[in-house]
Amino acid sequence: MNIKAITSIDYEWTKVIDYAENCSWRAGKTLANKMKNKHFTEWERVFIAIEGNEIAAYCTVAKTDCIPNVPYTPYISFMFVGEKYRGNRISQKLIKEAMAYVKDLGFEKVYLVSDHDNLYEKYGFSVVDRRIASWGAEEKIYMQCLS
């Protein structure tokens, strides 16, 4: 399993757009649209897990996430692991790589938004806030220090 951070100049970019657009998670289409519309700029990245020549999973590192008007940045977001790759701790590997990248950029904390219970806590995240997302549901904002 290879983890790689990509930008729009990498050859995998269009492959990830297609994968996200057709994956089983409805937020994949949102990610695909953001990638097509060059939403990811400067230091923002899409991280992918590749097995052989196949995309197994993805996530992003971005300035913002789905909750507007909060002081938090950066975020790990759009975490998705393909069905046939689940149960292999790929999300943990993606999070670890994304966190190392964010730390190298000089950030001291990283955030993520989720409605899952007892998922990100096992990776060292703790809830720091609860807010209403753009679709009207309450979501938890998690944080982890990068010391």
How confident is the prediction along the chain (147 residues), in pLDDT tens digits per residue?
999 999 999 999 999 999 999 999 999 999 999 999 999 999 999 999 999 999 999 999 999 999 989 999 999 999 999 999 999 999 999 999 999 999 999 999 999 999 888 889 999 999 999 998 888 889 999 999 998
What's this model's pTM, rounded to 2 decimal places? 0.95
For the chain, how are helix, strand and coil distributed in percent, rounded to 5? Answer: 30, 35, 40
CA nearest neighbour of 95 among 115, 81, 82: 81
- Strand arrangement of the beta sheet that strand 126-132 belongs to: 2-6, 45-51, 54-62, 75-81, 109-114, 138-145, 126-132
Residues 119 and 113: their CA atoms lie apart, in Å, by 12
Number of domains forming the structure of the chain: 1
Which residue segment(s) compose the domain that 77 sits in? Answer: 2-145
Are the C-beta atoms of residues 76 and 99 closer than 8 Å to each other?
yes
Q: pLDDT value at position 101? A: 98
In terms of phi and psi (left: phi > 0; alpha: psi -120 to 50; beta: otherwise), the region of 124 is: left
CATH number, domain with residue 132? 3.40.630.30
20 and 56 in contact (C-beta within 8 Å)?
A: no
Burial class (CB in 10 A: 0-12, 13-18, 19+), 16: buried
The continuous run of DSSP H or E covering 136 comes out as none
Closest by Cα among 125, 134, 147, 23 to 70: 134
Output the pLDDT for position 83: 96
Per the DSSP assignment, residues forming a β-bridge with 54 are 51
> Residue 128 has what DSSP assignment?
E
d(CA 67, CA 145): 20
